[in-house]
Chains A and B, each alone.
Chain A
Amino acid sequence: MKKLVTILLAFLLSNVSLAQSGWGYVNYTSYKTHNGNGSVNQYGQFANTAAEFDNLLNTANSNTTITHTGEVTLATMCDGSTGTPHWGSDYYAIKFEFWFIPKETGTYRFGVNSDDASDLSIDGTIITTYYGGHGASGYRYGSTNMVAGTLYKIVARYQEYGGGDALYVRWSRPSSPNTYSYWNEEVTNNPSVPTKKAIVNFDFGSTLDKTKFSASTLALNSSGQINITSALDSNKIATGNKATIAASNWESVIIYPYEANINGHRLLLDERMFNSSSPKFNSINSIKILDIYDGPVTVYDTSGWWKTYIIPGNVASKITSSSYQNYLRLQDGWYAIQAGTNISYTATTSYKTQSITMTTTNTLSTLYNSIVTVSDVYLAFKELANGGLFGNQTGNEFVYGIQYKNADVNDDGMFDESDCFRLLQHLTGTKNIVDTFNLNKTLKLIPQTTYSTIGKSNWNTFPSYLSDTYSFNINTGKSTDTLNIAATWKGDVNLSHSSTPPSNGITTMAVRTMSIPNEINASIITEVSDKIYAYITLDPLQQDVVGTQFQLNYDNSVLKFEKVEFKTKGNPMNYNTNKGNYINLGSLISDGSTTLDNTTEYKITFTSTTKLDNILGLISIGATDAVNKAGIQLKVKVK
């Protein structure tokens, strides 16, 4: 009788439907071991290896039985585990199982501390162990590389023979290897979350450090890729109804022949076949009709008795090959179908529209200063000059439609002199292109397939795409969706920090290439005398330099910017702007009529409120840029 009860109990426990609360919860299975009395006739007192642990928890051993299963909070497990329901205070073991979805990519370090033996495995691989009989005398660690957003199965287990008992678990993230804790947002006991997976490939071009960008708090890797599975909302919502039409005894459905202009067939349902409990006609978004079609439809017209929907694609061959020919009647090209009132409805559900929001750890105003530079401004002027005023001609300098879109900084759908003027104002610090520096106003996220279709003649028919948020659909029928997103920036005329569209057969030197082959030299020297001076000089080598830009960083807690004196030939537009902790300065000859030579010198003067004997490091060069007469961006080598 006892045996029967035990078997029944074991059966019930093994089949119990566990609560799956999800984030911050782990599942557990508690065991009575050593027959509950310390017996060592089937295994030893302590697990000294993974195999011994497996054997200790093997219910094929009569000394091991399952006593409890269920879920506890992650904190319960990590903070000692003894709050988990278990057998007695000795001769027991607990196995915790959960899904781990890391927030970061890189090396995770897991630690266990226990009384007595314990181990922790990830996807079946033991990561760290603390085997044998002992007190909880310190954490034992192991490391593993993980990819943000990926689902990992973790099993942590410990066993207690006699005396004290405990299991502690903690881990550290790649971004802070010495900070140990546990984070609810990385642990779930609901393996059905997420039901969909998604990978995003961001193409920012080759210049930007992608790791300084995150999508919905998940950091991009150095290639711009990110697994955003953990950021998806996998809850489906009701979206309408599916009508299933079966054969019956009189005609109530009509299928029109394929029509190219709608790329589909019109399907007509007789309203009189619907009874009062039927769903509204405009809620039908999917139809199954005999063996002819089963899939989504779009509502075409629901105003009359005959409710009309569009079946996408051409199903003519399905009609002629249907096994329901006795229920089909061909009339003037269209088919009448005998379906009678034999129409049933089921609710359809689908995933919500998903979105990810970009953030960056860069100081955006500084980053943007290196994105929209003198090269962009010069190229815009050059395109304008070649294209004629008001942009009614296509110039010779822009290769891609996206360049016009980025150059259209006032977003009026036209690239013209007012855009060039705004770019110039931005460069010289008179007025920035954007009123506030945030990704929402500077970044454009565009589906890669769309990005490559933005042409020189149709660029202004596309929306602005300015947003830090990218929305997408995961109702694709795939288990994993891969999103390829091109990133570009307002004002990035030469695409120096943007995705480069695929080659369209036009070659030009106007657009940045992977490595800039053209180079000029510059030099800096600083000194303290009555004031503090920095001198930047230029050596154009063989280049016809028409634009320069230097970001001169300074420690504003010590130095106060006073002025820039320009020594330049050819009457360029010299500019300088104090940005608080750096000076943006340089020269631009927008019409390319003259060039800057090696007599070019910028003398920057600072004062200090305290007496300084030297200034090593107080002033330094940050981002640089230069452009030649042909509109080619030049690398500035500071020597």
Chain B
Amino acid sequence: MKKLLFILLLLSACKKIEIQPQPPVVQDIFSVTESTVSNGGDIYFDLKAAGTYTLTMLDETQNVITRERIIGKIGQNKLKIYTSSLPVKYLYLVLEDQSHTQIGKTAIKIN
């Protein structure tokens, strides 16, 4: 019996321990005051509700450079940001919901 228990113990000790891969730590772009981005880079932000949102880029004089309508999901959202044809190297990014309520605003420096 002792022997059996020993074998069982040995078998259980040899069981492979599976390590779950951790998702990379990403930062909500609107949680910081300024970020540096490169052309084609990813940006992340969290939404509390799914729906239609707009992301607006403004220059330093608060003139709109571009605006995109997106469909957001609850939780973390990931988008690409393209910078090679933008006329400025420093801009502001504003996230608004459908009722034009500002949800987030941050500054972006283009690398």
Q: What residues make up the interface of A, taking CB atoms closer than 8 Å to B?
A: 523-527, 553-558, 581-582, 612-622, 637-639
* Across-interface contacts of A582 in B (CB, < 8 A): 85
- With A524-B67, A616-B66, A617-B57 known as contacts, the answer to whether A553 contacts B79 (CB < 8 A) is no
Cα A619 to Cα B28 in complex, Å, equals 23
* Across-interface contacts of B39 in A (CB, < 8 A): 617
A620 and B68: CB pair below 8 A?
no
- With A620-B57, A620-B87, A639-B64 known as contacts, the answer to whether A613 contacts B82 (CB < 8 A) is no
B80 and A553: CB pair below 8 A?
no
Among B54, B67, B80, B86, chain A packs the most CB atoms within 10 A around the CB of B67
* Across-interface contacts of A615 in B (CB, < 8 A): 68, 82
- Interface: B106 (CB within 8 A): no
- With A523-B64, A613-B79 known as contacts, the answer to whether A618 contacts B69 (CB < 8 A) is no
New A-B contacts (16) at CB < 8 Å, excluding given A523-B64, A622-B87: A526-B67, A526-B69, A554-B85, A555-B85, A558-B82, A612-B80, A613-B80, A615-B68, A616-B79, A616-B80, A617-B66, A617-B81, A617-B86, A618-B85, A621-B66, A621-B87
- Interface: B47 (CB within 8 A): no
- Interface: B84 (CB within 8 A): yes
* Across-interface contacts of B79 in A (CB, < 8 A): 613-614, 616
User: Considering only CB atoms and an 8 Å cut-off, how many residues of chain B contact the other chain?
Assistant: 22
- Interface: B65 (CB within 8 A): yes
A620 and B66: CB pair below 8 A?
yes
Specify the chain A residue showing the minimal Cβ separation from B66.
A620
Among candidates B64, B65, B80, residue contacting A614 with C-beta atoms closer than 8 Å:
B80
Nearest-CB distance from A560 to chain B (Å)?
14
- Say what secondary structure dominates the interface of chain B: strand
Among candidates A618, A619, A638, residue contacting B63 with C-beta atoms closer than 8 Å:
A638
A526 and B84: CB pair below 8 A?
no
Nearest-CB distance from B35 to chain A (Å)?
13
* Across-interface contacts of A617 in B (CB, < 8 A): 39, 57, 66, 81-83, 85-86
B54 and A525: CB pair below 8 A?
yes
* Across-interface contacts of A524 in B (CB, < 8 A): 64, 66-67
List residues 37-85 of chain B with CB under 8 A from any CB of chain A. 39, 43, 54-55, 57, 63-70, 79-85
Among A558, A620, A638, chain B packs the most CB atoms within 10 A around the CB of A620
Specify the chain B residue showing the minimal Cβ separation from A618.
B82
* Across-interface contacts of B85 in A (CB, < 8 A): 553-556, 581-582, 617-620
* Across-interface contacts of A527 in B (CB, < 8 A): 68-70
Specify the chain A residue showing the minimal Cβ separation from B79.
A614
Specify the chain B residue showing the minimal Cβ separation from A636.
B63
Cα A621 to Cα B56 in complex, Å, equals 12
Cα A615 to Cα B70 in complex, Å, equals 10
A620 and B80: CB pair below 8 A?
no
Among candidates A525, A553, A556, A612, residue contacting B87 with C-beta atoms closer than 8 Å:
A553
Among candidates A523, A616, A637, residue contacting B82 with C-beta atoms closer than 8 Å:
A616
* Across-interface contacts of B86 in A (CB, < 8 A): 553, 617, 620
Question: Can you name 6 A-B pairs with beta carbons within 8 Å?
Answer: A523-B64, A525-B54, A525-B68, A526-B66, A555-B85, A613-B80
B55 and A616: CB pair below 8 A?
yes
Specify the chain B residue showing the minimal Cβ separation from A557.
B84
A526 and B57: CB pair below 8 A?
no
Per-position contact with A for B84-111: 1 when CB-CB < 8 Å, else 0? Answer: 1111000000000000000000000000
Cα A619 to Cα B83 in complex, Å, equals 9
Specify the chain A residue showing the minimal Cβ separation from B84.
A555
Among B57, B83, B87, chain A packs the most CB atoms within 10 A around the CB of B87
Cα A615 to Cα B80 in complex, Å, equals 7
Specify the chain A residue showing the minimal Cβ separation from B64.
A638
Cα A558 to Cα B55 in complex, Å, equals 20
* Across-interface contacts of B70 in A (CB, < 8 A): 527, 614
* Across-interface contacts of B83 in A (CB, < 8 A): 617
Question: Ordered nearest first, which 8 A-B pairs have the shortest CB separation?
Answer: A617-B82, A620-B66, A555-B85, A638-B64, A527-B69, A618-B82, A553-B85, A620-B65
* Across-interface contacts of B68 in A (CB, < 8 A): 525-527, 614-616
Nearest-CB distance from A88 to chain B (Å)?
54
Specify the chain A residue showing the minimal Cβ separation from B55.
A616
B69 and A619: CB pair below 8 A?
no
* Across-interface contacts of B57 in A (CB, < 8 A): 616-617, 620
Nearest-CB distance from A548 to chain B (Å)?
16
B69 and A525: CB pair below 8 A?
yes
Nearest-CB distance from B91 to chain A (Å)?
9
* Across-interface contacts of B43 in A (CB, < 8 A): 616
Among B43, B57, B82, B86, chain A packs the most CB atoms within 10 A around the CB of B82
Cα A72 to Cα B100 in complex, Å, equals 70
Cα A401 to Cα B54 in complex, Å, equals 49
Cα A616 to Cα B85 in complex, Å, equals 11
Cα A352 to Cα B66 in complex, Å, equals 53
Cα A524 to Cα B67 in complex, Å, equals 6
Cα A525 to Cα B52 in complex, Å, equals 13
* Across-interface contacts of B66 in A (CB, < 8 A): 524, 526, 616-617, 619-621
